[in-house]
Structure formats: structure tokens, C-alpha cells
Amino acid sequence: DVKVTQSSRYLVKRTGEKVFLECVQDMDHENMFWYRQDPGLGLRLIYFSYDVKMKEKGDIPEGYSVSREKKERFSLILESASTNQTSMYLCASSKDGARSGNTIYFGEGSWLTVV
């Protein structure tokens, strides 16, 4: 089975802190994603990576950056955490070329509270 592992399930950080959320997948997937999920707003894409060192902004990239130095690992960085970044963060991956086809797999989620 595909496994997408998010290193931290629950975090509490202070406003202004730098926050790292780590995600690792074990199926050699090209694509990796970071979403946030908020009540009433659903899932929103923050960043997407289709290869090592390659990234694309999603719908809500402001206040976030990402790093993909190895194929299996995709990190989400909050440079200076703010209270409006309190949310559930979901990492996902899929094996995909330029065309459609493949299932997207999600991690268990990371609950971030910024105080």
C-alpha cells in the first residue's frame, strides 16, 4: 500500500515562529501536494511539486514556501506563523505523467495551532 507520512500530527506554535511540516511518501511518486482544510472552505491547494526542486503555487500560497530536495520528501514552511494559519494541513502524492489517470493518496494530516 502507498504510504504518505506526515511527521507531526499535532503542533502548537507561537505567532512569528518558523514552522516546518514534513511529508514523506514511499511509492516513488512524481507529484506531491500540500493542502489546508478549514471548516466551510474545504480543501485548498497551497503548493504542488511535480519533480525534485520543481514547484508550482496553488490557490493560497501566500505566507508559505515549500522545499523538495528529494523525490520522496516535500516540506511545507511557514516563514512567520500567524494565527490565521491555524488549520489542518494535508500532504498528498500521486504517480502521474503529463496526462491524467492516477489516484491521489493522502497523509493523516497535521493539526497546527498558532497562538
Partner 1 sequence: KQEVTQIPAALSVPEGENLVLNCSFTDSAIYNLQWFRQDPGKGLTSLLLIQSSQREQTSGRLNASLDKSSGRSTLYIAASQPGDSATYLCAVRLSGSARQLTFGSGTQLTVLP
Interface positions with partner 1 (CB under 8 A): 4, 6, 31, 33, 40, 42-43, 45, 48, 50, 56, 58, 88, 90, 92, 94, 96, 98-109, 111
Q: Spell out the alpha helix ranges (H) of 11-103.
A: none
Rounded to the nearest whole angstrom, what is the least distance from the CB of residue 77 to partner 1 in the complex? Answer: 19
Identify the three-state secondary structure at position 84: helix
Rg (CA), the chain: 13
In the bound state with partner 1, the residue whose beta carbon lies nearer, of 17 and 67, is: 67
Task: Give the cell for residue 36.
Answer: 489546508
Rounded to the nearest whole angstrom, what is the least distance from the CB of residue 30 to partner 1 in the complex? Answer: 8
Identify the three-state secondary structure at position 99: coil
In the bound state with partner 1, the residue whose beta carbon lies nearer, of 74 and 105, is: 105
How many residues are there in the chain?
115
Rounded to the nearest whole angstrom, what is the least distance from the CB of residue 33 to partner 1 in the complex? Answer: 7
